[in-house]
Amino acid sequence: MDSLKIYHDEVGKTLTIWFDDPKKEFLVDEIEEDLSLIKDQEGNIIGIERLNYLGTELDASKVEFFDF
């Protein structure tokens, strides 16, 4: 993964987090109310989307990065 892409749509009240290129989106699988997994053509999870997200201030000091 090169970078994590986070989109917060305040008007649409959605939060979308991409682990891979959004252009690879092939299928959106709703796993519970207001939460979906975004998958590529091979079935790999490339993102998640949260509906009805009201949002909060993001404190970047609380974000952890791991190198596997």
For the chain, the domain total comes to: 1
Residue 46 is assigned to a structural domain of this protein: yes
pTM: 0.78
Q: Which domain holds residue 23?
A: 13-55
1-43 pLDDT, tens per residue? 567 898 888 899 999 999 999 999 999 999 999 999 999 999 9
34-61 pLDDT, tens per residue? 999 999 999 999 999 999 998 766 666 6
Residues counted in the chain: 68
Residue 68 is assigned to a structural domain of this protein: no
Residue 33 is assigned to a structural domain of this protein: yes
Residue 38 is assigned to a structural domain of this protein: yes
Kindly state the tokens that stand for 42: 């091979």
Quickly tell me which residue has 């997200």 as its tokens: 53
